[in-house]
């Protein structure tokens, strides 16, 4: 199973910065959604991004992945400036999931994962029409790898099921499998446990640790505080589009500014630590 995810491009040393966002600002007319945000993610690291609703987390994700072109600042990946085009970002080695699940609902789980591989295949339309040997080889390899990825995320028996018929938690896992099919070095997850029950949340945590253990870095947005602080090596808290505090989870978790601006009162924090799963 250690060869299921190979990672795209060149080897990146664990001491280097895989992702580096420098002074990223995103304005929409007179509204500044992200203001001068800088952070870095290292290979093999799980990095968390938290903040209240409207803090600019998803907008920042969109700047990283090419959906938005930042008003100012730059994003570098493995040392190179990332072009603001999602297709080129994926080819560079970044893949993401979305806050609202975006699957092809009339396709099977296997077909959804295979879609993620097209950015790495070499066959063209002529190969497909005439079923050339190259096309047949790539189709066979893609099918085999898609089944491996489905098994990796815990969906072994779901290959031939339409994605729309899968339970909610399985749809979340399927979206992760499709992202992994692009051979990323960095996986960005936007609220991967949204709508999940406690058991599904624990399964999601275990899956992210498995992904990290294969050598990938993970950048995750999440509102579940227990989940994020159990999971992440470092955490950044955004408030009103700006970095409030960044550091190890234990430091961020106990920072009075975070408790006041995001988590709530110290008593609320104590209650959450005592056993709340939400």
Domains of the chain and any CATH numbers: 1-93+183-278 (3.40.50.300), 102-182 (no CATH)
Which are the contacts of 124, defined by CB distance < 8 A and separation ≥ 6?
A: none
What pTM value is reported for the model?
0.83
Burial class (CB in 10 A: 0-12, 13-18, 19+), 275: exposed
pLDDT score of 11 more than 90: no
Phi then psi for 117, rounded to 5 degrees? -85, -10
pLDDT digits (tens, 9 = 90+) for 78-103: 999 998 899 999 999 999 998 888 89
What secondary structure letter does DSSP report for 82? P
Give percent of the chain above pLDDT 90: 68
Which are the contacts of 263, defined by CB distance < 8 A and separation ≥ 6?
A: 225, 269, 272
47-181-120 Cα angle (round to 5): 115
Which are the contacts of 267, defined by CB distance < 8 A and separation ≥ 6?
A: none
Instruction: Return d(Cα 232, Cα 75) in angstroms, integer.
Output: 22
Sheet holding 80-81, edge to edge: 31-41, 19-28, 72-77, 80-81
List the structure tokens of 123: 């066959």
Give the pLDDT of residue 200: 92
Question: Could you tell me if 63 and 26 are in contact, meaning their C-beta atoms sit under 8 angstroms apart?
Answer: yes
Which are the contacts of 136, defined by CB distance < 8 A and separation ≥ 6?
A: none
Give the pLDDT of residue 138: 73
pLDDT score of 271 more than 70: no
Instruction: Return d(Cα 225, Cα 231) in angstroms, integer.
Output: 10
Give percent of the chain above pLDDT 70: 82
Mean of pLDDT over the chain: 86
pLDDT digits (tens, 9 = 90+) for 13-68: 556 899 999 999 999 999 999 999 999 999 999 999 999 888 999 999 999 999 99
């Amino acid at each position: 199973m250690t060869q299921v995810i190979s990672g795209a491009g060149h080897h990146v040393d664990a001491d280097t910065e895989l992702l580096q966002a420098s002074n990223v600002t995103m304005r929409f007319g007179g509204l500044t959604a992200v203001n001068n945000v800088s952070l870095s993610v290292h290979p093999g690291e799980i990095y968390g991004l938290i903040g209240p609703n409207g803090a600019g987390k998803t907008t920042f994700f969109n700047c990283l992945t090419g959906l938005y072109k930042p008003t100012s600042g730059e994003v570098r990946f493995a040392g190179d400036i990332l072009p603001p085009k999602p297709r080129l970002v994926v080819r560079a080695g970044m893949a993401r999931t979305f806050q609202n699940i975006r699957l092809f609902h009339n396709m099977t789980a296997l077909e959804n994962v295979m879609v993620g591989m097209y950015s790495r295949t070499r066959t063209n339309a002529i190969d497909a029409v005439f079923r050339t040997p190259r096309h047949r080889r790539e189709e066979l390899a893609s099918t085999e790898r898609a089944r491996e990825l489905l098994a990796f995320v815990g969906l072994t028996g779901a290959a031939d099921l339409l994605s729309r018929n899968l339970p909610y938690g399985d749809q979340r896992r399927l979206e992760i499998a499709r992202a992994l099919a692009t051979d990323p070095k960095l996986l960005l997850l936007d609220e991967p446990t949204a709508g999940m029950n406690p058991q599904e949340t624990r399964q999601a945590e275990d899956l992210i640790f498995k992904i990290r253990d294969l050598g990938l870095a993970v950048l995750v947005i999440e509102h579940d505080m227990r989940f994020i602080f159990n999971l992440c090596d470092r955490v950044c808290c955004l408030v009103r589009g700006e970095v409030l505090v960044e550091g190890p989870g234990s430091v961020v978790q106990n920072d009075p500014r975070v408790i006041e601006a995001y988590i709530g009162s110290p008593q609320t924090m104590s209650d959450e630590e005592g056993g709340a799963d939400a």
